[in-house]
């Protein structure tokens, strides 16, 4: 893919890299569009089972949204910029493939929000995360005020957003913002190892499981349980269900088709 987003394939694993290291991978409108297109393409790709999202270089995952671009935007233009971030977050949520963030450095502002929109987050020991927007007179605009409290609770979300303070990787792990912290030189390998565990499982089941987990963010418990029951019925009619149970009985590895 041209521009600031690089995409590589390893078997059924797509590695998507925000490739603007001279600006610490800051998100401008071009990158937001390119990422949205990339995620939407990967969601439809039959030969992709999981996605890793990371940043180029060793300093930043994504250091934030591009302040130079935002500085001269009007209120309506700021709203449009926020809507672009919203579209990207929605594309990541509706993507039927798990997305793993490999947070290799700064994940601030829009970068933290990009990580929040992923399904799983693994951080380098060098990572720093934060929502510093109030320090430049704005608020999170790419979903941070909504996803962060759902992930870490309202207290930590309020402290991070109101103070704008960064937290280190160890604190992020402790409050549940990242799943685990690994040495910097092991980050991509650990993300790939986790992705390959997922790739061994039924693609049909993974897609429906992701839909159920995302429903849990949006629905009250009773509606979420209804959604899960319906999804359980759908997965029960798949070829993967028949193959998985047959393979279990026959004590062999299943041969998934994703159908």
Catalytic residue among 113, 128, 173, 228: 113
DSSP conformation class of 65: B
Q: What percent of the chain has pLDDT over 90?
A: 97
The whole-angstrom separation of Cα 74 and Cα 79 is 9
Give yes or no: residues 24 and 118 share one domain: yes
Tokens of 94: 């509706």
- Decide if pLDDT at 49 tops 70: yes
Q: Tell me: the pLDDT tens digits for 81-118?
A: 999 999 999 999 999 999 999 999 999 999 999 999 99
**Mean pLDDT throughout 229-239?**
97
Residue 65 or residue 197, greater confidence: 197
- The strand pair at 13-18 and 5-10 is best described as antiparallel
* pLDDT score, position 86: 97
**Is 228 known to be catalytic?**
no
Number of domains comprising the chain: 2
Tell me if 232 is assigned to some domain: yes
What is the reported pLDDT for 1? 45
Closest CA to 231 of 258, 212, 216: 212
Q: Pull the structure tokens for residue 161.
A: 């957003």
Domain ranges, residue 184: 5-199
Q: What is the CATH number of the domain that holds 214?
A: 1.10.12
Helix (H) or strand (E) holding 37: helix 29-44
Q: What is the DSSP letter of 220?
A: -
86 contacts: CB under 8 Å, gap ≥ 6: 142, 143
pLDDT at residue number 92: 97
**228 and 164 in a common domain:** no
> Do 113 and 153 fall within a single domain?
yes
- Kindly state whether residues 154 and 237 are assigned to the same domain: no
Find out whether 193 and 154 touch, Cβ atoms under 8 Å: no
Average pLDDT on 49-72 reads 95
Q: Kindly report the CATH number assigned to the domain that includes residue 179.
A: 3.90.226.10
State if pTM tops 0.85: yes
Other C-beta atoms closer than 10 Å to the C-beta of 247 total 14
Q: What is the mean pLDDT of the chain?
A: 96
Whether residue 2 is predicted with pLDDT greater than 70 in this model: the reply is: no
255 within domain boundaries: no
Q: Could you confirm whether 8 is annotated as catalytic?
A: no
Q: Is 87 in contact with 27 (CB distance < 8 Å)?
A: no
Which residue(s) pair with 53 in the sheet?
16, 101
Active site residue: 34, 69, 83, 133, which one?
133
Are residues 107 and 230 located together in one domain of the fold? no
């Amino acid at each position: 893919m041209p521009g600031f987003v690089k995409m590589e394939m390893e078997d059924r694993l797509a590695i998507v890299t925000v490739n603007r290291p001279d600006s610490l991978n800051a998100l401008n409108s071009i990158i937001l569009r390119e990422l949205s297109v990339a995620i939407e393409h990967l969601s439809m790709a039959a030969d992709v089972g999981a996605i890793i999202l990371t940043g180029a270089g060793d300093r930043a995952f994504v250091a934030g949204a591009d302040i130079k671009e935002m500085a001269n935007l009007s209120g309506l233009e700021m709203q449009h910029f926020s809507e672009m971030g919203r579209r990207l977050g929605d594309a990541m949520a509706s993507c039927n493939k798990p997305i793993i963030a490999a947070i290799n450095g700064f994940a601030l502002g829009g970068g933290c929000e990009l990580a929040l929109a992923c399904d799983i987050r693994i951080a380098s020991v060098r990572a720093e995360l934060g929502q510093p927007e109030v320090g430049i007179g704005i608020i999170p605009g790419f979903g941070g005020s909504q996803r962060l409290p759902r992930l870490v609770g309202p207290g930590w979300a309020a402290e991070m957003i109101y103070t704008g303070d960064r937290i280190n990787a160890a604190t992020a792990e402790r409050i549940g913002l990242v799943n685990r912290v690994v040495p910097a030189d092991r980050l991509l390998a650990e993300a790939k190892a986790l992705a390959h565990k997922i790739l061994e499982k039924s693609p049909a089941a993974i897609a429906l499981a992701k839909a159920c987990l995302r429903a849990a963010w949006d629905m009250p418990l009773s509606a979420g349980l209804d959604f899960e029951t319906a999804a359980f019925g759908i997965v029960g009619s798949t070829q993967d269900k028949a193959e998985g149970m047959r393979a279990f009985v026959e004590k062999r590895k299943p041969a998934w088709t994703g159908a």
